[in-house]
Amino acid sequence: MTFQIANIILYSHDGRIRELPFRIGELNVITGASKTGKSALIDIVDYCTGRDDCYVAEGVIRRHVSWFAVLFQAGDSQIFVARRNPGPGNKTSPDIYVQRGTTIEPPAISVLAKNFTLDALGKMLDAAVCINENQHRPPAGQTRDPLTANIRHALTFSFQDQDEIDSKKILFHRTGDNFIAQAVKDSLPYFLGAIDEDRLLKLSLFDAAKRELRRLERQLREISNASSDELPEALALLEEAKSVGLVDERVVASTPEAVIGALSHVAGIAFVGDNFVVGSADDALVRLRTERAALRNELEEVKSELRATRLFRTENGGYRREAGEQRARLSAIGLFRDTEADHAHCPLCESVLETPLPAVDEIAGALAGMHQELQAVETESPKIQAKLAALQERETGLEGRLRENGQRMATRIRENEFLAKQRDDFVVQARTVGKITQYLSTSDRSADNSALVRQVEEARARVAMLADEVGDDSAQERLETYLNIIGRMMTDYSETLDLEHRGSQLRLDIRKLTVIADTIDGPVPLQRMGSGENWVGYHVLTHLALHKWFRQKARPVPAFLILDQPSQAHYPPEKDADDGSIASLADEDKTAVQKLFSLIAKVAREIAPSLQVILLDHADLKEDWFDDAVIERWRHGRKLVPLDWVDS
């Protein structure tokens, strides 16, 4: 996916917007006088792509701009990134606003508010340029941490500000910082494509294979170093196994092999622990207790009914005896036959009675009633006896069932106690088996270690195979091949410029991050090449060759290159007196500038639309192709920051 600059936007403090649109996939030229803001463009783009601090120079821009923004074209979509100007004297601001869409118009300043973090911005831009998972691991013996290439490393190849483009010591953006220089050295093989895309996965597999090999080798070493000094531990485990019932007490093992054999047998015992688990609420015991409670309730009801029936029987018997006695007394009425006798006189002595005797017929009536009641009581008595007998039988049956229930409960409790003991024994035995298994797994002293030897050999072969796949040899070969191709491009480009060592084989030395010309007198690094013309020329052709390679290989590097003041060796600011015209320059300087700009335009056309080149310079060539490439001329009051922003 191409990643280029569609627009650079500035916001004033009162909300006015300054847009600087660019053409995608072409050469874009901004020419103008000094102090118009050209050099600030690199710092603005750098800041909006995640640089920690804002390096826009203090002055007009920092005083009159509230937000910096860049609209990126990422394939068919756009990404708008705005960062608040930290203001004069401040290094950075945490306020970042990001918007994504197919076509984005710069939002009003009222919309701008923090919705992204710096870390999230970096990750989003990584994805936008298609940087995959990667990791560079330093060679053995070096202490620096592994490096993951990201958008900040990729942008190293997209900027050449005016202090870098003519440097004989620094070839890439910000590589004057040793840490950044080392990061470029570590990440450049990835960006060139010399590192497999699946290298990280292979490295992970390689690490796992090495760990497994170390484990197997350690185990084999322990087997080989086994001695009688290690036998006591095995013997102690064997005795423990005997004490918990895992090994017959009669087993005798006097040699290491015999001990290991016995322990191996124990380690192979299979346990089914579920058979030994006893719940605190045993279902059968719960059912028995429920049954017992029901039986007790039923027995209590029967006993209560028995008591009531027996009481009734007792009261019934007393009544019958009393009624019988009364009937016997009344039966004396049979002695008197004359029912018409004088009731005022005693029938024996005929003396006058103070209280007259009842009539015989009254006594006879009472006697007849008594007789009927006695007959009724005597009739009910057998029924009461039958009920008592039935209740007593139920009572006996319930008491028997209660005794049986109690016996079953006692049996179940004894069984549970036995199972609980079995469970406890199982736990102890399982613990012992675990100790034995651990001992055997870490200190296997089996006499026959041929299987382990084979495992070690297979692990070594796998490590060797993966080492070849992730090894530096294959990556180094690819890297050297790619650098040779890039070197040929650089050599070809140099033929069009009037550079020292033109025609010599050029190469990019990524260990020293410099350009080297291989001459008949030996290699000549950039630092030993004279004149600013050479330094600028080699900077430009190196970056053009790299970007041509990046685009040919579809590498995850932003598809734009910003060059600031490449003409400075021939057309310094003090010579800018005729609206950027180079007509007043010496012929050789004029020719050098034309050739350099023509090379930039030629390569931009060759790679178009995959590459966008942004050229910032004082020089303004009076040629049609150059005029077509100019997007703005900053002269006669026209600058990056509009004058009315400053005046207001």
Collect all residues with Cβ–Cβ distance below 8 Å to 278 and sequence separation of at least 6: 416, 419, 420, 423
Which is it for strands 27-32 and 612-617: parallel, antiparallel or unpaired?
parallel
Q: Does 137 fall in a domain?
A: no
pLDDT of residue 633: 96
Confidence at residue 359, expressed as pLDDT on a 0 to 100 scale:
56
pLDDT the model gives residue 350: 62
Q: Do residues 82 and 114 touch, judged by C-beta distance below 8 A?
A: no
- Residue 476 amino acid letter: Q
Comparing 192 with 203, which gets the higher pLDDT? 192
pLDDT tens for each residue of 513-523:
999 999 999 99
Is residue 259 situated within a structural domain? no
What's 584's DSSP letter?
A: T
Boundaries of domain holding 400: 283-417
Higher pLDDT, 255 or 461: 461
- H helices present in 471-572, as ranges: 472-494, 532-552
The answer on pLDDT for 242 being more than 50 is yes
What local confidence, expressed as pLDDT, does residue 145 receive? 83
Query: What is the structure's pLDDT at 225?
Result: 61
**Which of the two residues, 289 and 108, has the higher pLDDT score?**
108
Place of tokens 């015992």: 269
Classify residue 620: in a domain, yes or no: no
Q: What is the mean pLDDT of the chain?
A: 84
Question: In CATH, what number is assigned to the domain containing residue 371?
Answer: 1.10.287
128/122 Cα distance (integer angstroms): 10
Does 272 have pLDDT greater than 50? no
Residue 555 lies in a domain: no
**Residue 202, pLDDT above cutoff 80:** no
pLDDT at 112: 97
pLDDT higher at 502 or 370: 502
Higher pLDDT, 481 or 271: 481
Residue 450 has pLDDT above 70, yes or no: no
Q: What percent of the chain has pLDDT over 70?
A: 80
Per-residue pLDDT at 205? 80
Q: Is residue 550 scored above 70 in pLDDT?
A: yes
Q: CA 584, CA 500: separation in Å to the nearest integer?
A: 24
Closest CA to 389 of 319, 310, 300: 310
Q: Is the pLDDT of residue 330 over 80?
A: no
pLDDT: is 263 or 181 the higher one?
181
Strand order across the beta sheet in which 514-519 lies: 505-509, 514-519, 522-525
| pLDDT above 90 coverage of the chain, percent | 46
DSSP per-residue letters across 241-291: HHHTTSS-TT----SHHHHHHHHHHHHT----GGGG---SS-HHHHHHHHH
Mean pLDDT within 306-327:
68
* pLDDT level of residue 361 (50, 70, 90 thresholds): low
Give the residue-averaged pLDDT of 213-218: 88
Tell me the per-residue pLDDT of 147-195, one tens digit each, with 9 for 90 and over: 889 999 999 999 999 999 999 999 999 999 999 999 999 999 999 998 8
Residue 518: in which H helix or E strand, if any?
strand 514-519
Between 199 and 394, the higher pLDDT residue: 394
pLDDT at 363: 59
Confidence of residue 227 (pLDDT cuts 50, 70, 90): very low
Say how many domains are in the chain: 1
Residues 6 or more apart whose CB falls under 8 angstroms from that of 553 comprise 192, 193
Residue 143: inside a domain, yes or no? no
Given a cut of 70, is residue 200 above it in pLDDT? no
Arithmetic mean of pLDDT, 624-632: 96
For 283-315, the pLDDT digits (tens) are 777 887 888 888 888 888 888 888 887 777 776
Taking CA atoms, 543 is separated from 50, 138, 509, 560, in Å, by: 22, 26, 13, 11
Does some domain include residue 62? no
Query: In angstroms, rounded to a whole number, what is the distance separating the alpha carbons of residues 605 and 598?
Result: 10
How far is it, in rounded angstroms, from Cα 26 to Cα 601? 9
How does pLDDT run across 123-142, given as a tens digit for each residue? 999 999 999 878 777 776 67
pLDDT at 347 over 70: no
Q: What was the pLDDT predicted at 276?
A: 46
Is residue 456 a part of any domain in this protein?
Answer: no
Residue 358 lies in a domain: yes
Cα of first residue to Cα of last residue in the chain, in angstroms, is 42
Place of tokens 């970056």: 543
Task: Give the mean model confidence (pLDDT) for residues 533-562.
Answer: 97
Residue 41 — pLDDT band, cuts 50, 70, 90? very high
Q: 422 vs 12, 419, 429, CA distance in Å?
A: 85, 5, 10
Q: What is the pLDDT of residue 273?
A: 45
